[in-house]
Structure 1
Amino acid sequence: MAKIRAFFILALLFLSSSFFLQVARSQSDLDAEADAELVAETVEEGSHVSDDIQDIGFGNFNPAPGVETVCVFPKNSAKSVVAGQETELLVGMKNEGEQSIKVIAVHASVHLPFDHRMLVQNLSTMAFNNASVPASVQATFPYIFAVSKFLQPGTFDLVGTIVYEIDQLPYQNTFYNGTIEVTEAGGLVSVETVFLVSLGLALLVLLGLWVRTQLQSLSKKTKKITKVEVGTRTVDASMDEWLQGTAYTQSQSNKLKKKK
């Protein structure tokens, strides 16, 4: 019974973790929608992505005061990235300062999740020509990247940076510093799928153990033999007819003769 209770507790933990996973996902979707509202597509006319990607050297610049950035993965709240295929994200910039911002480029890199010093891949740099964000205006800038098709599936950290100038002074903001899930091309198996399959197998094993325990307890009950005490009883007269002529009747007649 202790094992059955332990399995029940384990199943409850699995169910509760699945519930919180769904809640966290819903909350993530709500946050993405809220960020999407902030990321308004108000890029100034004439701003466009450069066809010739320049090799821009990124320094360790500080963010400018009054400049806020957000990141949205359109229709991809799980932040799933297929190795070797292009993935798009939107970088939102809000200028609450008094001067116009000149956007230079967007860059990103992939790192190991447990140690950011371990660089996995430098992603492409997307430069912008004539892209500016006036004071008290918010704008959206697309960024398309692709991780190496040889990158092993798993969880990695993506660090995205946008570089800009204010009054010819360079600044940069980290618009995203979080995890992404890299999957193989054409792969249908995800972490959530593995979790749900494991949960189903655990519940099936639990049910099988419970049924087996019930059958064993039922078979033990049926094997119990009730003891019946046998006392003195009278011999029915009809039984004498069956004993006529046997040694039993002869011995009984001899006893009667001796008594006489």
Structure 2
Amino acid sequence: MSDPESVPSFDAEGLFDDDYLHFFAEHLDARGDAETELIWQLLDLRPGMEVLDLACGHGRIANRLARRGCRVTGLDSSRIFLDRARQDADALGVTVDYVHGDMRRLPWTDRFDRVVSWFTAFGYFSDSDNQRVLAQAAAALKPGGRIAMDLNNYAAVVRTYQTSTVVERDGDLLIDRHHLDLLTGRNVVDRTVIRDGRTRNVPYFARMFTFPELRDRMLAAGFTTVHAVGTDGAALTMDSRRMIVIAER
């Protein structure tokens, strides 16, 4: 029987590295302007607001929010991603405070007007540690502050589940083999990267949530209201590939 606190293998250093940027950064950057506009509208952002991009990756959202006048802090566990984020910020002429850290242990309390957690940047730990992340995010917000979390929509994933996916770029291959553990709600993945004549394996997983489950967890973590929309801010349905959860402290 699967134990929710028995965590599968997760090679975070091997997952969030230069290979990830090679296969995904260009595609993600192409969506950055539209996603930033959506975040701006959903969170009612305004210039001068203090914003935390939690698990900011290579800064594609954080840098764009800074360009719109927000005072942005980006936190991530990957130094490679943070180096790229700083380089892109310099190229854009914007200032973002990029911090290397663990989202389970945030160094801020009552600091931010808004928190952004985008592109499935949540669900990488045991259930107790995932709950700790939510509590830390709530505590980092000022009273009345809001968070927007962009996640896979569990209903749509289950209905269209693929046991493998392949990404090709410049003759290189990234192959993911998926296993959905229905007892823990985790999508467990064995990733094979074939690049520049070398092959390596990277295990990881992502915990997925139905909206009622995540809503209850966020209320328990200190948020006062929680609601959700679907892909691009439309109504959340079974066909929505994304679930965007907006909550207020």
TM-score where L is the length of structure 2 = 0.23
Q: Which has the larger radius of gyration?
A: 1
